[in-house]
């Protein structure tokens, strides 16, 4: 009996949750996609994996061997 | 099943009967209320009396689901890759694995970068957590733990706290915090502090922006927000119907939302303050192993056992891209975006890391090298490098070189090598 009530309570919660989700405000995909693209393009220059930086500026580069030889 | 023993989210006077008891957050006629469990059952009874049956409620939820689909489809006027045709094709990426970090004795299950952009923390099935310096490949700390299934770790943004999680072997369903110090003699394991406790394994964790709070996801089907100092539960998030495998916080400073993905194939977006599930996406065909926000915070990607990664836009409220290939049949266990969001790095169970062009939907390049499943990929905070952890017990760091200076650098290296050989022979001769 209480199991049935728990199921009903669950079902009512699901219904209320779906009502909330149906009623949210949405944007057209074309507009959302345009904004995603704009963000990518705006930040592409700063992205070292997309526009590689010269190795002298790359902090991960192997240290030069000057000191070892001299 | 999942969260039956973890229903009490807050404690206080019930909105219906005013008795102080553990409360459940429910929504009645679109308003959030807190009822004690007895009143929830009574509400359910009352529903029954008004002619609602379980069947009628189920039918109503089916109708609402169809309506949700229709509302989402109305806005689908164009595909992302069509809009992206205007964007330049990526120039040939020269991302390669440049460093291999060896030191763990068993599968590396998780890794994370420190905000100082050079330190990494990794956790392994050998029961150790190691902090690495990615520039010099030195190990800075090694913390042994009593549990061998340390599923995840993370760096706290401000105070260099390292976070560790203990898995489901034994009684450890806890999330612990360890303060890291530079004193190598300090017994770090003794300073371990338990913060979170779930009723099943803890699968994912993240510090919030403020560093004072911790968000965890668990195999008990819930996510929870904890206060680090006191260990108190601040908010819990119910809605998944199976294990939650991953979570990610929205990137904005003022962000109050996070996304979670789990074995119920759903990705849910939550409001951290109210505990409410704001949006839900169900298009994957198998467990979602990892979710990650797009850098702008308006979208997120998910990696799943169905061998695809998918990209969802939050404002359009729908899936806008699927990253898949017929040749990729193994599940993706992890994903992360590059700094600009143009690239999506995804680690797969076929030992590779596929790099996807997020906008065009095509694969930009593929990284080989790991000799077992890739368990975690993370881009460094300044976007310069990609760290990857694998079941082959190594971590690898990859980055890209601009090809021009690459050749010059190689030539200089060759000159030095020749020079050093000549010096050696010279000294030997004498």
**pLDDT tens per residue, chain B (430 residues)?**
233 333 334 567 777 788 776 666 666 655 667 776 667 666 655 655 456 677 888 888 898 889 888 888 888 888 888 888 888 888 778 888 888 999 999 999 888 888 777 888 888 888 788 888 888 888 887 777 665 556 566 666 555 555 555 544 444 677 777 666 545 555 655 666 777 778 887 888 888 867 678 888 888 899 999 888 888 899 899 999 999 999 999 987 667 899 999 999 999 999 988 888 999 999 999 999 999 999 999 999 999 999 999 999 999 999 999 999 999 999 999 999 999 999 999 999 999 999 999 999 999 999 999 999 999 999 998 899 999 999 999 999 998 876 555 566 667 778 888 888 877 777 766 5
Residue A1 in any domain: the answer is yes
Q: How confident is the model at residue A70 (pLDDT cuts 50, 70, 90)?
A: very low
Mean of pLDDT values over A17-30: 86
Bridge partner list, B379? B386
Instruction: Specify the pLDDT at position B32.
Output: 67
Q: Is the pLDDT of residue A9 over 90?
A: no
In A18-57, the residues whose Cβ lies within 8 Å of chain B are 18-22, 24, 26-37, 39-44, 46-50, 52-56
In Å, how far is B365's CA from the nearest CA of chain A? 12
Residue A68 in any domain: the answer is no
In tens, the pLDDT along B228-268 reads 888 889 989 999 999 999 999 998 766 789 999 999 999 99
Other CB atoms within 10 Å distance of the CB of residue B17: 12
Residue A62 in any domain: the answer is no
Cα separation of B280 and B317, whole Å? 9
Q: Do B134 and A18 touch (CB under 8 A)?
A: no
Full domain range(s) for residue A37: 1-49
Q: Do A18 and B54 touch (CB under 8 A)?
A: no
Instruction: Write the DSSP string, B87-155.
Output: SPPPPPP-EEEEEEEE--SS-EEEEEE-TTSSEEEEEETTSEEEEEETTT--EEEEEE-S-S----EEE
Give A-chain residues touching B338 at CB under 8 angstroms: 47, 49-50
Residue A63 in any domain: the answer is no
Instruction: Specify the pLDDT at position A66.
Output: 42
Residues of chain B with CATH 2.130.10.10: 86-429
Q: Do A5 and B294 touch (CB under 8 A)?
A: no
Residue A41 in any domain: the answer is yes
By the CB < 8 Å criterion, does A70 face chain B?
A: no
In Å, how far is A57's CA from the nearest CA of chain B? 10
The encoded tokens of residue A35 equal 């904004």
Of A12, A15, A59, the CB nearest to B135: A59
How are beta strands B233-237 and B244-249 bridged, if at all? unpaired
Cα separation of B63 and B57, whole Å? 10
Of B47, B79, B402, the CB nearest to A54: B402
Q: Do A50 and B338 touch (CB under 8 A)?
A: yes
Q: Which of A10, A11, A51 is the best mutation test for B, with the most CBs of B within 10 A?
A: A11
Return the CATH fold of B86-429. Methylamine Dehydrogenase; Chain H (2.130.10)
Chain A and chain B share a number of CB contacts under 8 A equal to 218
> Is the distance from CB of B335 to CB of B375 less than 8 angstroms?
no
Q: Which residue from B minimizes the CA distance to A64?
A: B413
pTM greater than the 0.90 cutoff: no
Give B-chain residues touching A12 at CB under 8 angstroms: 43-44, 47, 52, 57
Q: Do A60 and B384 touch (CB under 8 A)?
A: yes
Instruction: Specify the pLDDT at position B279.
Output: 92
In Å, how far is A53's CA from the nearest CA of chain B? 6
A43: domain CATH number? 4.10.260.10
Residue A36 in any domain: the answer is yes
Domain count, chain A: 1
Instruction: Specify the pLDDT at position B6.
Output: 34
Q: Do A53 and B384 touch (CB under 8 A)?
A: yes
In Å, how far is A31's CA from the nearest CA of chain B? 9
Q: How confident is the model at residue A69 (pLDDT cuts 50, 70, 90)?
A: very low
Q: Which residue from A minimizes the CA distance to B96?
A: A49
Instruction: Specify the pLDDT at position B31.
Output: 67
Q: In terms of DSSP H, where are the helices of A1-70?
A: 2-22, 29-43, 66-69
> Is the distance from CB of B302 to CB of B261 less than 8 angstroms?
yes
């Amino acid at each position: 009996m209480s199991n049935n009530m728990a199921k009903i309570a669950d079902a009512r919660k699901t219904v209320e949750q779906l009502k909330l989700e149906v009623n949210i405000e949405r944007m057209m995909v074309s507009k959302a996609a345009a904004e995603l693209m704009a963000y990518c393009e705006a930040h592409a220059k700063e992205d070292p994996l997309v526009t590689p930086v010269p190795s002298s500026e790359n902090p991960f580069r192997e240290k030069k061997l000057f000191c070892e030889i001299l | 099943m999942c969260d039956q023993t973890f229903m009490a989210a807050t404690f206080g006077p019930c909105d219906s009967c005013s008795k102080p008891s553990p409360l459940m957050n429910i929504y009645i006629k679109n308003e959030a209320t807190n009822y004690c469990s007895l009143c929830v059952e009574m509400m359910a009874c009352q529903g029954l009396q008004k002619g609602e049956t379980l069947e009628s409620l189920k039918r109503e939820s089916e109708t609402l689901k169809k309506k949700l689909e229709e509302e989402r489809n109305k806005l689908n006027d164009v595909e992302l890759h069509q809009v992206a045709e205007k964007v330049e094709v990526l120039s040939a990426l020269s991302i390669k694995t440049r460093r291999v970090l060896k030191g763990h004795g068993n599968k590396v299950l998780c890794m994370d970068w420190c905000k100082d952009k050079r330190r990494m923390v990794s956790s392994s099935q050998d029961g150790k957590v190691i902090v690495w310096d990615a520039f010099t490949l030195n190990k800075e700390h090694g913390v042994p733990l009593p549990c061998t299934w340390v599923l995840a770790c993370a760096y706290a943004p401000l105070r260099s706290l390292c976070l560790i999680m203990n898995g489901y072997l034994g009684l450890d369903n806890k999330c612990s915090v360890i303060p890291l110090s530079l004193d190598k003699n300090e017994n770090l394991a003794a300073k371990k502090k338990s913060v979170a406790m779930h009723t099943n394994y803890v699968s994912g964790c993240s510090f919030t922006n403020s560093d004072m709070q911790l968000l965890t996801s668990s195999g008990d089907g819930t996510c929870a927000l904890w206060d680090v100092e006191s260990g108190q539960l601040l908010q819990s998030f119910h809605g998944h119907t199976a294990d939650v495998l991953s979570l990610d916080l929205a990137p904005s400073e003022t962000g109050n939302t996070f996304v979670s993905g789990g074995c119920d194939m759903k990705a849910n977006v939550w409001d951290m303050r109210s505990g409410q599930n704001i949006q839900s996406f169900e298009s994957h065909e198998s467990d979602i192993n990892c979710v990650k926000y797009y850098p702008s915070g308006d979208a997120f990607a998910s990696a799943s056992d169905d061998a695809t990664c998918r990209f969802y836009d939050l404002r359009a409220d729908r899936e806008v891209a699927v990253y898949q290939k017929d040749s990729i049949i193994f599940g993706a266990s992890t994903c992360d975006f590059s700094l600009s969001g143009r690239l999506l790095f995804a680690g797969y169970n076929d030992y590779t890391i596929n790099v996807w062009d997020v906008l065009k939907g095509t694969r930009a390049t593929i990284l080989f090298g790991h000799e077992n499943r890739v368990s975690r990929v993370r881009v460094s905070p300044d976007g310069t490098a990609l760290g990857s952890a694998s079941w082959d017990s190594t971590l690898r760091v990859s980055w890209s070189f601009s090809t021009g200076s690459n050749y010059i650098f190689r030539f200089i290296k060759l000159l030095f090598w020749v020079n050093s050989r000549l010096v050696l022979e010279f000294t030997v001769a004498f």
